[in-house]
Amino acid sequence: MKYFKSKPLCHLLIGILLFTALGCQSEKKGNSTSDKRDLYKSYNQSTQKNIANFPPDRIKSREKAIAKLENTETYKILVDSNVVSPEYLPLLTAINDGIRSSYINENSEEMFAIDEGLVQRVSKSENGNDKLDFVINTVLLSLPNKGGIPHEIISVFESYRKEYNYYGLPSTFHDMNGKLISKVEYPYNLSSIFGVIDPENRNAVEAIYEANEKNISIWFNPRDKGSYINSYTATIPDYTEFLSEHHKRSEYLPDDYSDDFWKNYDAEVKRKIVQMIYLKDCDGLQKQFDIAEQNMNSQLARTGTGNSELMGFIDENMRKIGCYE
């Protein structure tokens, strides 16, 4: 991972890059920014509210990051010219990775990391250093101490979502005559971006799960030190908690997730079992079932209910994820 740190004044650390890949060149025009001004109004209003409460030094820091962003050729292409092209999907995927990985460390500094392979894919493409500057400054602006993502960039995200959806796999696009229009060479992912700017949209939040399910991205482990800023986009326990609070009817929330029987168990037991369900760890779930069965009498003496409901929960979800097939 490449690690970046945000301080009161913009300060970035860029390390060694790893493997390479080239993007595509086909492109087409997107819609103008003006017809998207009212999109994601809640996020935009929250951003403006944050900025209104900034002291002068933080306003200056934000303005500096925006100036760097607007100075890139990539900004002129994506924002000013409204270009929508597969060439820029790796760039957006890198932004997505930076947003979901952003965290506050033990020193209360806001930081983010981007997968080295994604960084390399962007930097080794045509005009790669300029694209990487666009990525870094966009993620930087997404951090709380920078206020939030500018609405012009959100308009770019929306244009790409409309064209390519929240995530996708390598594919080709042809016209009615079978002529190749464009080609997507690499898996891409915008789901965490939209999970942050549109968290009440169940489709957007569920796309986070789907992208991980298809191995387009992978869940992070909870941090030993510090905490993720957008934790529900990063870890399974926080994602399921977010679903239970905001999208109770989601099909990706394990059956009986919010039932009362969980009150008889430590929160870590629930987190462990739910993570096994998401990762389809059938062996681990079977082990948890066996432990619950072995401890039936002691649990019955302690709580008066035993482990039958927990065992039923495990069994039902093992069946749902195909452990018995």
Return the closest-CA partner of residue 26 out of 233, 182, 187.
182
DSSP sequence for 232-254: GGT-HHHHHHHHHHH-TT-TTSP
Confidence of residue 24 (pLDDT cuts 50, 70, 90): very low
Would the pLDDT of 33 be above 60?
no
What pTM was computed for the model? 0.83
Q: What is the pLDDT of residue 175?
A: 75
Q: What is the pLDDT of residues 112-123, one digit of tens each?
A: 999 999 999 999
Within 13 Å, how many C-alpha atoms sit on residue 56's CB side?
0
Task: Give the per-residue pLDDT at 224.
Answer: 87
Sketch the domain layout of the chain as residue ranges: 2-199, 260-320
Closest to 194 in 3D by CA, of 161, 152, 172: 161
Could you tell me the strand order of the sheet in which 110-114 lies?
2-6, 110-114, 103-104, 227-228
Mean pLDDT value across residues 24-32: 37
Residues 47 and 59: beta-carbon distance below 8 Å: no
Closest CA to 183 of 164, 196, 158: 164
User: How do residues 272-301 score in pLDDT, each as one tens digit?
Assistant: 999 999 999 999 999 999 999 999 999 888
Q: Which pair of tokens denotes residue 304? A: 């008066």
Q: 33: closest CA among 156, 132, 143?
A: 156
Amino acid at position 4, single letter: F
Which pLDDT belongs to residue 255?
82
pLDDT per position as a tens digit, 80-95: 999 999 999 999 999 9
The secondary structure of the chain in percent helix, strand, coil, rounded to multiples of 5, reads 55, 10, 35
CA proximity to 20, closest of 146, 138, 153, 120:
120
Is 99:142 a contact under the CB 8 Å cutoff?
yes
Q: Which of 22-26, 55-59, 307-311 has the lowest mean pLDDT?
A: 22-26
